[in-house]
């Protein structure tokens, strides 16, 4: 049985940290230096923690969440503005009575109703502008290539052994290829979009398919067969299927691109 105090000290160390040097965990650093068993236990727990930590952040974000949050915040702000524009109870109590000065009170009521309405309208308009606008196809292409260029793909996992999260399926227009790997993706298109990327290989040619919960009305609802000139030996297509945005980046020319894309949808 492992020493539970040693185990607790090791468990307190964050993966990849130098927490084992923490004075509060003494004599852990000495134990690790002197005992091969302790060192082995430490290494195994660090490896397990690394795996758990990665999985911890692997949660699919619901489509449209940021839009809903912004709309609700704007509504709350609008309600607050209306509340603030209304006369407080103690102020209302000091208002002159209609019997004494009816015209003055009517003016005040008109003014406060007008202010409340204006505040509500301002909040609603503000909410509209605060919601990110859809990107144009050209912006999507530029930002997707920039994202693709700076990505690390080593963390991808084979779909045969690890199921990707629900809600991010491979497009009906893209061939299911053996050896396909997937990985979570964050910060896509400079919009903090999160989704899944599938890394595909066909006859030595590589491609990445990004699947994001995003509405881009300017995009076609299927990948084009002809994409024109490829840029930097990369071919790219973006399309919309339901609530999902698909972006396919292919290492190669149009012909290579076509080897990944079906002519008609499947399923």
Partner 1 sequence: MMADSPLRAEVARLVVEHHAALYRYAYRLSGSAVNGEDLVQQTFLTAQAKLDQVRSAESVRSWLYAVLRNTYLKSRRKRGPIAAADLDLMLEKVPEQLPEPLLVDPEELQAALDALPEEFRVVVVMFYFEHRSYKEIAQQLGLPAGTVMSRLSRAKSQLRLRLFPAEAQSSRPKSRSRPARIS
Select from 122-130, 141-149, 241-249, 254-262 the region that touches partner 1 (CB under 8 A): 122-130
Size of the site for partner 1 (CB under 8 A): 59
Q: Tell me, residue by residue from 148 to 187, as one string, x for binding to partner 1 by CB under 8 A and - for no binding.
A: ---------x---xxx-x--------------------x-
**What's the rounded Cα separation, in Å, for the pair 97 and 107?**
13
Buried b (16+ CB within 10 A) or exposed e, 65-90: ebeeebbeebeebbeebbeebeeeee
Q: Specify the DSSP class assigned to residue 164.
A: P
Nearer CB in complex with partner 1: 13/222: 13
Q: Which residues contact 78 (CB under 8 A, 6 or more apart)?
A: 119, 120, 122, 123, 124, 127
| Cβ atoms 246, 170 nearer than 8 A | no
**What's the rounded Cα separation, in Å, for the pair 183 and 154?**
9
Nearer CB in complex with partner 1: 6/140: 6
Nearer CB in complex with partner 1: 44/176: 44
**Residue of 27, 33, 44, 178 that binds partner 1 (CB under 8 A):** 44
**Residue of 33, 69, 113, 266 that binds partner 1 (CB under 8 A):** 69
Nearest to 246 by CA among 218, 206, 219: 219
Site residues (CB under 8 A) for partner 1, limited to 201-240: none
Nearest to 190 by CA among 231, 156, 145: 145
Nearer CB in complex with partner 1: 183/234: 183
3-state secondary structure of 244: strand
Angle between helices 36-56 and 4-11 (to 10 degrees): 40
Tokens in use for 34? 């002197």
Burial (CB count within 10 angstroms: exposed 0-12, middle 13-18, buried 19+), residue 23: exposed
Q: Is 14 in the site for partner 1 (CB under 8 A)?
A: yes
**Residue of 120, 126, 134, 169 that binds partner 1 (CB under 8 A):** 126
Select from 70-78, 100-108, 199-207, 246-254 the region that touches partner 1 (CB under 8 A): 70-78
Q: Is 137 in the site for partner 1 (CB under 8 A)?
A: no
Q: Is 39 in the site for partner 1 (CB under 8 A)?
A: no
Q: Specify the DSSP class assigned to residue 174.
A: B
**Residue of 27, 35, 68, 87 that binds partner 1 (CB under 8 A):** 68
Backbone phi and psi for residue 119, each to the nearest 5 degrees, phi listed first:
-65, -40
Nearer CB in complex with partner 1: 172/186: 186
3-state secondary structure of 215: coil
Q: Which residues sit at the interface with partner 1, rule CB under 8 A?
A: 1-2, 4, 7-9, 11-12, 14, 17, 19, 22, 24, 41, 44-45, 47-59, 61-62, 65-66, 68-70, 72-74, 76-77, 122-123, 125-130, 132, 157, 161-163, 165, 186, 191-192, 194
């Amino acid at each position: 049985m492992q020493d539970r105090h040693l185990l607790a000290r090791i468990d307190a160390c964050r993966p990849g940290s130098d927490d084992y040097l923490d004075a509060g965990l003494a004599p852990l650093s000495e134990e690790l230096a002197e005992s091969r068993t302790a060192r082995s236990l430490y290494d195994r727990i660090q490896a397990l923690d690394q795996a758990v930590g990665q999985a911890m952040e692997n949660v699919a974000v619901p489509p449209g969440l940021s839009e809903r949050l912004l709309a609700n915040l704007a509504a709350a702000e609008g309600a607050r503005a209306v509340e603030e524009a209304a006369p407080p109870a103690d102020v209302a109590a000091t208002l002159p009575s209609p019997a004494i000065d009816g015209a003055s009170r009517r003016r005040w009521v008109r003014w406060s109703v007008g202010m409340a309405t204006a505040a509500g309208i301002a909040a609603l308009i503000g909410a509209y502008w605060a919601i990110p606008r859809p990107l144009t196809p050209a912006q999507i292409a530029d930002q997707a290539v920039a994202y693709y260029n700076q990505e690390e793909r080593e963390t991808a996992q084979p779909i045969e052994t690890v199921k990707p999260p629900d809600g991010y399926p491979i497009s009906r227009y893209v061939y299911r290829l053996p050896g396909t790997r997937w990985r979570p993706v964050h910060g896509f298109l400079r919009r903090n979009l999160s989704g899944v990327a599938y890394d595909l290989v066909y006859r030595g040619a590589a491609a990445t398919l990004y699947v994001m919960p995003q509405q881009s009305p300017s995009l076609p609802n299927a990948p084009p067969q002809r994409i024109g000139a490829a840029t930097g030996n990369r071919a790219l297509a973006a399309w919309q299927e339901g609530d999902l945005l698909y972006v396919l980046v292919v290492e190669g020319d149009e012909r290579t691109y076509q080897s990944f894309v079906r002519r008609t949808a499947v399923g």
